[in-house]
Chain A
Amino acid sequence: MDLLQYDFLQRALIAAAVVGLVTPLIGVFLVQRRLALLGDGMGHVALAGVGLAFLFGTAPVPTALVAAACGAVIIELIRAKSRTAGDLALALIFYGGIAGGVLFTSLAGGRSSAALNQYLFGSLSTVSATDLVWLGVVAVIVLVVLAVFGRDIFVLALDPDLARTQGIRTTATSMLLTVLAALAVVIGMRTVGLLLVSAIMIVPVAAAQQLSRSFRGTAALGVVVGELSAVLGLVASFQLDVPPGPAIVVLALLFFGACAAVAVPLRRRRSRRVAAARPAVLHEEVAA
């Protein structure tokens, strides 16, 4: 493939492959916990970090990482106190994030405003080798944490009471998931952009759950859809000369549409099969 002769494109493709692998794995827990929009908010908070980085001349990715992680901890602390206060606090922190991000960037002046666009919608040409190292380190951390604590997060999302009677520390586990979402945002920010990064966490999962019958199946299929969307979307963005974020997300949405279209007849056939195998089961609901 002659696309690979460009160094910047090689780096962008590696970044996209990491995004496609890691973000749906976080997304599946967020959807299960009914926090599908949390990644969106984390993206806004990370934007404030990018603005600060422009203002003080620090490296954007690590600064965004710190901002998003701090935002995650604050949100989780408020949510633990009260659910309604948590909802409102979430909104305030998100607005603060996006307003602060744009404000700091404008104050920084120079070419920062143009650069901001790359962080909002992703960029093909600006993924540096240093960015890739950051990406790799954060991705490995996320995968190791998931391997160790993923089961705890699953039980927590299934039912917090059951989690507690299994000795799982629910507040700490909940915070862990929010921090993981913040890390996933930072992983996706260079390729997909902060405004759309939540989509690459959630849309592949939404596509996968049309077809799967288990959590593991949803996670695995989500990664496949995530990888296909990220890598093919990046190539399409290069060919069509559009920002990668929108290309990747539109592709993921197309996958969702295809999965949903396949799912309807599939589900019908499955329920017919169950009905044929076990006529009593369907009547049970009526009788009960």
Chain B
Amino acid sequence: MTHDHPHATADTDPTAVFAVSRACVTFDGECVVDEVDLVIRAGEVVAVLGENGAGKSTLVRAMLGLTPLSHGGVRVHGVPVEQFRDWDRVGYVPQRLLSAGAVPTSVHEVVESALWGPRRRFGRTRRSPDVERALRAVGLWDRRDDRMDTLSGGQQRRVLIARALATGADTFVLDEPTAGIDADSSARLAATLGELAASGATIIVVTHELGIIAPIVTRALVLGRGDHGSVRYDGPPRREELAHHHAWHHSEELAPAEAPPAPVTLLEP
């Protein structure tokens, strides 16, 4: 990637996938993300941790250009996020689809639609090998013709991961991928993420707990409200450091209001 703004230090780093500088997000006058400086380099596996309301999802959404910043900037591969066009390189995995079920939509269609957009308007994607490979990777190829809304929550999450895989992205952003999913799905998820990490992908995971992804995480970012910006801790995922910043560890965690109470059976001993 070219770096056309020599005065901005983070942009001159050619391995920076995301460069966040002094980012603030304000909702109704309240600072949700405050003064975040962050450079995420190619190949890093970053866990974004913190309590509910710490701004984890908001920060990640701002990095993807989904939430406007009130101050500061985000660059993706050296380009300001508002002008970034190479979205095939970034696979975003939301917690759930906003509108699954309004019209019956097959699993295959959900994954296939990852290939659609301004760049590929006409090619036929019905028998795309990319879709088959992605659905096989998450173990749902034999459910491809089923309606998305007949799958369990964990299976739907795996379909959304397949969606990100199908584009051939090298950067993956996952929002709470393990929250409220069954043991089989989280084991498969961990395996898939492990393979991606081994292949050199950049992975950013918003999560309440390291849990099953702990073995592959190279960096932990703990967010919280404080006097000195949102970042409480940024460094290697050492257990004692995290425990210090995670007074809430484990069961005090409250489930988000709209979601069914999430079973906190993530595979940590």
Contacts and interface: CB of A to CB of B under 8 A. Distances in A.
B65 A160 contact: no
A82 B197 CA distance: 41
A34 B102 contact: yes
Nearest to B100: A158
Contacts of A209: 103-104
B102 A164 contact: no
Contacts, number: 124
Contacts of A287: 182-183
Chain A, interface residues (CB within 8 Å), range: 35 or more
Interface string B153-171: 1110000000100000000
A217 B100 CA distance: 16
B257 to A, nearest CB: 19
Interface residues of B, number: 44
Contact of B66 (A34, A161, A274): A161
Interface of A is mostly: helix
B154 A284 contact: yes
B146 interface: yes
Contacts of A284: 152, 154-155, 182, 184-185
B116 A215 contact: no
A33 B116 contact: no
B168 to A, nearest CB: 13
Nearest to B61: A161
A214 B104 contact: yes
A218 B66 contact: no
A151 interface: yes
B33 to A, nearest CB: 17
Contacts of A212: 104
A214 B121 contact: no
A165 B87 contact: yes
B105 A214 contact: yes
A158 B152 contact: no
Interface in A106-129: none
A71 to B, nearest CB: 24
B44 to A, nearest CB: 19
A48 interface: no
Interface of A: 28, 31-34, 148-149, 151-152, 154-155, 157-169, 205, 209, 212-218, 271, 274, 280-281, 284-285, 287-288
24 contacts: A31-B102, A32-B99, A33-B102, A148-B121, A151-B116, A151-B117, A154-B113, A157-B102, A159-B97, A159-B98, A161-B66, A161-B92, A161-B98, A162-B163, A165-B65, A166-B87, A167-B87, A213-B106, A214-B105, A218-B103, A274-B150, A284-B154, A284-B182, A288-B154
Given A33-B99, A151-B116, A165-B92, 5 more contacts: A159-B98, A167-B85, A214-B104, A218-B104, A288-B181
